[in-house]
Every structure is written in structure tokens, then in C-alpha cells.
Structure 1
Amino acid sequence: MPSALVRRPSPRLSEGLVTHIERTPVDADLAVRQWQQYVDALEAHGWTTVEVPAIDECPDGVFVEDTMVVYGDLAMIARSGADERRPEAAEAERAVAAQGYRITHITEPGTLDGGDILKIGSTVYAGQGGRTNDEGIRQLRQAFAPLGAEVRAVPVQKVLHLKSAVTALPDGTVIGYEPLVDDPQAFESFRPMPEEAGSHVVLLGEDRLLMAASAPESAKLLEQLGYTPVVVDISEFEKLEGCVTCLSVRLRR
């Protein structure tokens, strides 16, 4: 059974970093309810969730995906390009180690956020230009190459993270809202989506895709392609540039 690391939102969630959008008020109580619904959706579709201890002093701690990149049996612990987010990694590291993963780290001067990494089979796309720098990508490539991964750097300037712009369908097709994708031709197969939030899916297994309620037209399109959208409302996290991928680390081995 696959598992996912999750982390409860901080009471200071509304203070989270915002870089590419205007700040709007966040309802912290609603965010907690939405987070629980997200966790419930994972569990309802066969996932075991493992809760990383909360880190209330870090407003962005709920976006636990940014703390690491997992490939095979190796978890590479991130070193965020945002200094204030670096304390988030320690408890996440302990949680993934407890699941039996080997551990390595991005080290200074490298920076890397997990949200900048998109894995499609043995190809690992690394978003370059925001929170993840050249040295972080070099270290990622060095760590994952012995496991058979090919790391490809792709530009990210228009959004916070690579997976703010694109994710991938089960067949490997990359999907994204084209105005926010720096270089659609960087991917072997690209399908434009009608909404920004339609760019973000979590593969739950078989034909099921976890996605945000803010992308109804994209959900219809994916249904027409034969997929089954599993829709959750994450409006309060979207106000902080979060999406369905940010809220968990999926462990599939």
C-alpha cells in the first residue's frame, strides 16, 4: 500500500510566503478542515498517511513536499531557497527515515525545494531559477544517477515551483496552464489545460487523479480522457501558492 507524509497546518499559516501572487486573507480554521479533507481523500483511495510532527513556528510547514525528493529507496533532504523554510526539513527527514528510506542531503551552496521536482518514470525534471539553483540540481543528479534517473533542468520563472506550472498524467503526458509554463517544449509530451489549477494532479492509482475544486473545466477534460478526478477544495492553500502536490510526499515503493 502506498503511503504519504503529511503535516498539519500551522496556526500562522496566513503568514506564509507569497512570491508570484497578491496576498489575500487566509482562513486558518477553514484551512485545517480542508487539510483534513485532503488527508481523508488520500486514505479513501488506498493511501496510508504518516503525519510529520507539526512545526507551528513555520507558516509554510504544511507544504511538506518541499522538504525532500524521493527516488527509489533514497530520500534527498532539501535545502530550501527560502532561508526561513529550512527548519521544516528536520522532522520530515526523521519521518521518511522511519519508513526505511536511505537519506542524503542537499548541502550548501546548493538549494532545492521538492516542489521543483517532477518525476516521470526514470526522467526527473528539475525546475531551475527560483528556489532551486544549479548546484542543487547538480547534487540531485549526482545522487540519483546511480539509481538510473536522468535529471533534466528546465526553466522556472513565471511561478514559484516547477509543479506550480506542470504535473504529469499516468501516461507521462505533462499538463500545464500554458501562460505559466516557461518552456512547454522542454517536455516530451505536453497538453495545455484550461485553468491554472488544472495543471496540478496527484496520481492516486489506476485512473484516479486528485485535483483542486478550482479547476472544474480541467476536471471535465480529464474525464473525457478517461480519468476519474477526485476533487478537494484547497482554496486557503491556493492563496499561498499551494496546490494538491505540495501537501504531501508520496512514497510509492
Structure 2
Amino acid sequence: MLKFENIIARKPCKAMLEGISTGMFSDDKPVYEKAVDQHQEYVETIESLGVKALVLDALEEYPDSCFVEDPAVVMKECAIITNSPRESRNGEKYEIVPAIKKFYADEQIFHIAAPGTMEGGDVMLVEKHFYVGLSDRTNKEGARQFNEIVSKFGYTSSTIPVTEGLHLKDFVIYLENNNMLVSAKMNEVPEFHEFNRFVVPTEELYAINSLNINGTVLVPEGYSKTLEHIKSLGYPVIVVNTDEFKKIDGSLTCLSLRF
């Protein structure tokens, strides 16, 4: 099992009301005050599982900056600063570097460079293999550079087309122990057929993005079928409310970098 000792998170900013949204999960605008409370609960929940949190100040100039998973990909051996193709998000990569440098030496920090693009929401680790989603945010060149970097540390990677929504991990999540949560479309991907897959019902699609922290699975509030399935697999479960972040396509994994 992957063991996490630290997370990096960033407080939501008031500008999050103008965050990017596909409208897939909600047409509503976030309520900032509720988002602040939900974010604090999220951090405290992860800390209760034996993980130390570094919580960064809000960045008003970047509406989506609370989603710290996107400007970097972190692992034990190194950190990779990504390169978003969205102008409103690209500057976040510079803002995350000082936090990354608290944990990684300069020679452990790598960068995805143009014309490569990548956001961390498209990167899913399974044991020592990364599945990289090819999406509107992550392109083939970004995936190629990523593979070149991680291969230095004994990892492998492959690409998966993202044909629905924003990021790969909105539609497939690895829970450890060979278990996956998938959408109906991701269930058809041959690369995932070796796993024990649960096809999340369409009305509970948001619950795919659940998060295993040291053996306990965090599940978004309000998705009883997915919750009961995860319990049936034997995982301890904590329900966390991320409704305000859902309104701008944010979910449990988006809100932290874990290592």
C-alpha cells in the first residue's frame, strides 16, 4: 500500500466563484464561505489519518488554485511541475514551486516544457505504473516528457484517451488492492480489464473521485451506492462534503498533493 506522510493543500480564494467549470456536475456557483469550511474539514480529515499538512495561502489571481494537484505531480523520488494549456491556470506552476522545494532538492524537481502540456488530474499511479490521460489539458508531448522523467526512477507509464469531461481521474480511480472505480466508458478500456472494477452509476459519477489515504477511503458525501460498494471491499470509509468544489469540477484528489 502506498503510504502518505505529507500533503500540500491551498486555501480556496474568493475568486473561485469564477473558476473553470464544464457544468458536468453542477450549474451553480460555489459559496465561498462554505468552501472554506469544507476545505478545512478535508485537511483535518487527512491529518487525522496520520498525515502532516502544509496549507498554503489563497491566491486571488488564480481562481482554481485550490486544486493543487494540477500544477505538480509528486512521488517519493521526485516532483514534476506541470504545464497547463489554460492561461488562467498556467501561472499556478510558479506558485507551487516554493512549497515543493520544502520537500525536494533542486535535482529532484523536473518540469514539463512547451509544447508539452499536462495537469496532474490526468495522472494516476498504480503501483509503479502511471496511467496518463490524453485530454484537453494533457497532450502526447507532455506525456512523453513525463515518461522520460519517471523512467529515471524505475516507473513506467502509458497513455489513456480521455473522451469525457476534464481529467482522467474524474472517470477512473485506483483504490489500491487491485480495486478500481470507473465510468461505463472507462470500463471498456482494455488496459483496465485486469483490475477489479466497479462501474459507478451515472447519477453517482462524481463519486468515482474517491481517495485512499493510508488504507482509509475518503468518499464524497451523497453517493450511497458507491459508498456501500467501497465498504463491501473492506475499506474503512470517511464521508467528506466537497459540494462547493464540485460546482467548479473539483473533487477529493484535486485538493491536495500527497506524498
Query: What TM-score, normalized by structure 1, do the two folds share?
Result: 0.93
Name the stretch that deviates more: 197-206 or 36-45.
197-206
Task: Give the match for residue 191 of structure 1.
Answer: 198
Asked whether the equivalents of residues 112 and 146 of structure 2 are also in contact (C-alpha less than 8 Å), the reply is yes
Please, which runs of 5 or more residues in structure 2 have no aligned partner? none
Q: Within 2, Cα distance between the matches of 1:216 and 1:73?
A: 37
Give how far 1:145 is off.
Answer: 0.7
Output one character per residue of 1:187-240: Cα deviation in whole Å (capped at 9) or x when no partner. Answer: 23133123212211211113x101200322211111111111111100010111
Alpha-carbon distance, 1:32 to partner: 0.6
Give the aligned partner of residue 135 of structure 1. Answer: 141
Given that 1:106 and 1:140 are in contact with CA atoms closer than 8 Å, whether structure 2 keeps it comes out as yes
Task: Give the direction of change, closer, same or farther, for the CA distance of 1:212–1:86 in structure 2 (3 Å limit).
Answer: same
**SS of aligned partner of 1:196:** helix
Alignment of 1:33-112 (within 5 A): 33-101=37-105, 102-112=108-118
Match 2:243 to one of 225, 235, 239: 235
1:200 correspondence with 2:206: no
In 2, the alpha carbon distance for the partners of 1:161 and 1:209 equals 20
Q: Which has the higher mean CA deviation after the structures are superposed, 106-115 or 211-220? A: 211-220
CA–CA distance in structure 1, aligned partners of residues 222 and 82 of structure 2: 29
**What RMSD, in angstroms, separates the aligned Cα atoms of the two structures?**
1.6
1: CA distance, partners of 2:13 / 2:34: 12
Structure 1 gaps, min length 5: none
- Deviation for aligned residue 1:69: 0.9
Amino acid corresponding to residue 168 of structure 1 in structure 2: Y
Question: How far apart, in 2, do the equivalents of 1:172 and 1:246 lie?
Answer: 22
Which is bigger in relative contact order (C-alpha 8 A, separation at least 6)? 2
Measured in 2, the distance between the counterparts of 1:59 and 1:141 equals 30
Mapped contact 2:125–2:131 kept (Cα < 8 A): yes
Instruction: Say which SS state the counterpart of residue 176 (structure 2) adopts.
Output: coil
Q: CA shift at 1:182, angstroms?
A: 7.6
- 2:224 is the counterpart of 1:216: yes
Moved more, 112-121 or 209-218: 209-218
In the TM superposition, what is the alpha-carbon distance from 1:44 to its structure 2 partner? 1.1
Q: Report what 1:248 is aligned to.
A: 256
* Larger mean Cα displacement after TM superposition, 166-175 or 137-146: 166-175
Question: Structure 1 CA distance, aligned partners of 2:190 and 2:249?
Answer: 24
Alignment length, in residue pairs? 249
Tell me the amino acid that sits aligned with residue 176 of structure 1: V
1:57 Cα offset (Å):
1.1
The sequence identity of aligned pairs, in percent, is: 31
Code of the residue aligned with 2:33 in structure 1: it is: D
- Three-state SS of the structure 2 residue aligned to 1:76 is strand
Instruction: Spell out, residue by residue over 1:29-68, the C-alpha distance to the aligned partner (whole angstroms, 9 max, x if none).
Output: 1011100110110111111101233211111000000011
C-alpha separation between the residues in 2 aligned to 1:182 and 1:57?
38
- Decide which moves more: 166-175 or 224-233: 166-175
Q: Which residue of 2 aligns with 1:2?
A: 5
**Cα-to-partner distance string for 1:87-135 (whole Å, 9 max, x where unaligned):** 1112212111211351110001010000000001111000002200010
